[in-house]
Structure 1
Amino acid sequence: MLGFRRHLRTAVLLWSCAASTSTSTARGAITTLKSAVRYEEVIKKSRFVALAAPARTAEAANAYVKEHSDQKARHNCFAWRLSCGSTRTNGDGEPGGTAGPPILAAIEGAGLHDVVVLVTRYKLGEGALLGTGGLVRAYGGTAAAALASAETVTIVPTVIKRVAYQPHDTGAIFSVVRAFDPRPVDAPADDQLATEFEATPEALDEVLNRLRDVTQGRCTVT
């Protein structure tokens, strides 16, 4: 299972960075899952069901695990990895290092971020014990197989900025921000207008310089 070749269809999206993630995501694009996927396999009298889903925050990842864990199952083991660098694993009573870490290794091996994987184990009857190595292969393998079946997206981080300006500078402002998803917002003063826009970190400096040039420094960007 760990040798599965990943044939993934990849799309490209723009992602507005929240304040809590802008520092980390500014390092560059990340790859995550487009939607949730499921994979299951029976291994030596145990059924392993792997669920993988995108999760942008620890709260979202933990909520997914809580919602999809089966309390009637023998074990609900999981791992998640965020673009900010945070990770978490849980083996839910399996021998140390045999469940959560192999699931995390599958996520890392797939090169994914902002992903949570839950692998639930159901005992189907008496049979041969999997052993430590068998559990590592089972949890890591089912997680890897679930991720291999998923469609991914490459997320290009963007930074949201707000420019305030005089009404007579509207044309000049929009000549710069037209390509950056501009939208009107409340202005800081009654005699001003304000527009939000999104730009990639790489393009931001040039956009800010052009805004100052076309308004001769009359605009304010926050």
Structure 2
Amino acid sequence: MSWSGCGWPLRHTISCVHLPRKLCTLTSISEVSRYQETIKKSRFVGIAAPAHGVKAAEEFLSSYSDPKATHNCFAWRLADGTTRSSGDGEPSGTAGPPILAAIERARMHGVVVLVHRFFGGVKLGTGGLVRAYGGVASRCLESATRTELTSLESLVCRFEPGDTGPVFAALAAFGPEAPNSTDLLETGSLCVEVQVPAHVVPSLTHGLKRATGGRVELLRKGAG
């Protein structure tokens, strides 16, 4: 018995119409960037770095947080859209969220930004803190070297021949790498392996299920 690249018993392989190659690219930064500014006697130091996952972001924060700072506030936004922020004791909503908003305005992913504040004796007020943290984060990102970040994930799609049109239309809409062939399984089902940007996997899954009335089976390659 032969097996398809998708992992199911294979009858034979047939040629496949190529899909458009329109990979979704994300913008990130290529290296650590710094910016500092004194605002009403408080010194703010912004440090931005690439973060390819939660572990990388946490390691950056552990390495770069300054125990001498009054506050170490941060935010991150990963390639899959996951976000987190912390105000480290500043009034609610005045530090972490403005830093995250700066990342989102810059349309960046895979980035973590840490802002130290060394209190200078003058209170800034709620609005002043929002402007200070958000502004320092924005200018830190503006000074960073940008790079394209494309995180691809291999997916296996199994479907019935009658769903070929809807399946390929849904795949094309989300811009996967084109499969070179379609496997015809012993069950009569069809199977393709595609690569898509990791951040579109949830939307693609929803789109395929909706297009086929839930009949499609979509697995990450290697999953049981």
Tell me: CA distance 1:157–1:89, structure 2 relative to 1, closer, same or farther (3 Å): closer
Tell me the SS of whatever aligns to 2:178. Answer: helix
Mapped pair 1:57 → 2:31 = no
Mapped pair 1:137 → 2:131 = yes
Residue 72 of structure 1 corresponds to 68
Normalised TM-score (structure 2): 0.60
* 1:170-185 paired onto structure 2 within 5 Å: none
CA contact (8 A) 2:23 2:176 kept: no
Residue 107 of structure 1 corresponds to 103
1:81-110 Cα distance to aligned partner (Å, 9 max, x none):
012121100000000000000000000000
Mapped pair 1:203 → 2:177 = yes
Residue 81 of structure 2 corresponds to 85
Structure-2 separation of matches of 1:45 and 1:131:
14
Normalised TM-score (structure 1): 0.61
1:149-169 Cα distance to aligned partner (Å, 9 max, x none):
1111112344569xxxxxxxx
- What is the identity percentage for the equivalent residue pairs of Structure 1 and Structure 2? 50
Gaps of 5+ in 1: 1-25, 162-200, 213-220
Size of the aligned set, in residue pairs, is 148
After TM superposition, give the deviation of residue 202 of structure 1 in Å: 3.0
Structure-1 separation of matches of 2:64 and 2:83:
19
CA contact (8 A) 1:28 1:157 kept: no
1:17-36 Cα distance to aligned partner (Å, 9 max, x none):
xxxxxxxxx97211100111
CA contact (8 A) 2:23 2:177 kept: no
CA contact (8 A) 1:35 1:150 kept: yes
CA RMSD of superposed structures (Å): 2.6
Tell me the SS of whatever aligns to 2:176. Answer: helix
Gaps of 5+ in 2: 1-21, 156-174, 185-192, 194-220
CA contact (8 A) 1:32 1:115 kept: yes
Residue 8 of structure 1 corresponds to none
